[in-house]
Amino acid sequence: MKVRDIVATLEGVLLTGEALLDVDIQAACGADLMSDVMAFVKENVVLLTGLVNPQSIRTADLMDIKVVVFVRGKVPPKDMVAEAERNGMAVVATKYSMFLACGRLYEAGIHGGGTREIR
Amino acid sequence: MKFRYEVSGEDMSLAGKASGEVKRALGRLGVNPAAIKRTAVCMYEAEMNMAIHGGGGVAEAELSPDRIVVTMRDSGPGIPDLELAMQEGYSTAPEWIREMGFGAGMGLPNMKRNSDELRIDSAPGSGTTVTIMVRFDPNEGPGA
């Protein structure tokens, strides 16, 4: 699914990252815990998070995540968007909750995301 | 080649910047991308720990032909029970750190999982030094 379709599916607002609108994304990760993102993300994913602080952008950058969606109507401050822009990332804000945003993307065709064995 | 960064223990909005800079520097040098990512995860977790618990400190990354060694040194209170600290899910981080997306007890386990060697030298009152080594095949760089 292209980034532009993710924005449309989530009825989102693209805050930066016009150049990435045609990038193809096959998997998603919904998390507010950045250590979990670092522990579980293996693929090229869109990160959905409710964590509005610079750590979400930095974690995404470290994991080569190119698209970050802020859920629950949260809008990151300008300096965070600027940091994402410098890192060549797309940032999207959506009115949907984490559950609904993930559900809509799943329904629209993003099924990748990985699993981890129960230990 | 060696990089050195100061990590703030006061301004949490800066935490993670050193890791990002090391990641970009290694990328420019054409280091194997998988090794860069593993190094970045380890260093970021260690940087957060250093900022949260250690009161800041010094981060150094040294690149050799087949490995990256990151050394993170702080003068904080030290880790009283290392075995406990290594357990996934164990954390002493305060609530406000959890609100920043960290403090879930995944830091040291993440470092262990992503490194080839992890050494932690710590004792109560004498600070903590974390040494992370990530090996890579020098023939598997992006330009190889």
ipTM for the complex shown: 0.84
Q: Which two tokens stand for residue B24?
A: 């970009």
Choose, out of A47, A59, A80, A98, the residue to mutate when testing the contact with B (most B CBs < 10 Å). Answer: A59
pLDDT of residue A19: 98
Name the CA dihedral angle for A57, A53, A3, B26, rounded to a multiple of 10 degrees.
0
Q: How close, in Å, is residue A22 to chain B by CA atoms?
A: 23
Which residues of B carry out catalysis? 45, 49, 98
Distance between terminal CA atoms of chain A? Answer: 33
Residue B16, chain A, CB below 8 Å: the answer is yes
pLDDT of residue B141: 62
Distance of CA A106 to the CA centre of its chain: 13
* Percentage with pLDDT > 70 across chain B: 97
Please check whether residue A68 is in contact with residue A92, taking contact to mean a CB–CB distance below 8 angstroms.
yes
What would be the CATH architecture of the domain defined by A3-107?
3-Layer(aba) Sandwich (3.40)
Write the DSSP symbol of residue A2: B
pTM of full prediction above 0.80: yes
Name the CA dihedral angle for B110, B114, B116, B122, rounded to a multiple of 10 degrees.
-30
Condensed to tens digits (0 to 9), the pLDDT of residues A39-87 reads 888 778 999 999 999 999 999 999 999 999 999 999 999 999 999 999 9
The whole-number average pLDDT for the span B14-26 is 93
Domain boundaries, chain A: 3-107
Pick from A32, A51, A55: which is nearest to B16 by CB? A55
The whole-number average pLDDT for the span B6-26 is 92
Cα distances (angstroms) measured from residue A27 to each of A98, B36, B85, B125: 15, 22, 32, 45
pLDDT of residue A41: 85
Question: Is the pLDDT confidence value at A110 over 70?
Answer: yes
Question: Is the pLDDT confidence value at A7 over 90?
Answer: yes
The CATH number corresponding to B2-140 among 3.40.50.300, 1.10.3720.10, 3.30.565.10, 3.40.190.10 equals: 3.30.565.10
Strand pairing class (B128-135; B67-74) = antiparallel
Do B100 and A32 lie within an 8 Å CB cutoff?
no
Q: How close, in Å, is residue A4 to chain B by CA atoms?
A: 27
pLDDT of residue B100: 86
Do B109 and A39 lie within an 8 Å CB cutoff?
yes
Domain boundaries, chain B: 2-140
Pick from A34, A39, A87: which is nearest to B101 by CB? A34
Do B23 and A62 lie within an 8 Å CB cutoff?
yes
Chain A residue closest to B45 (CA)?
A35
Choose, out of B100, B114, B134, the residue to mutate when testing the contact with A (most A CBs < 10 Å). Answer: B100
Tell me how crowded residue A5 is: count the other CB atoms within 10 A of its CB. 17
The whole-number average pLDDT for the span A7-11 is 98
Task: Give the residue with greater pLDDT, B104 vs B131.
Answer: B131
Give chain A's mean pLDDT.
94
Q: Cα separation of B99 and B117, whole Å?
A: 30
Please check whether residue B41 is in contact with residue B109, taking contact to mean a CB–CB distance below 8 angstroms.
no
Task: Give the residue with greater pLDDT, B101 vs A77.
Answer: A77
Question: Is the pLDDT confidence value at B143 over 50?
Answer: no
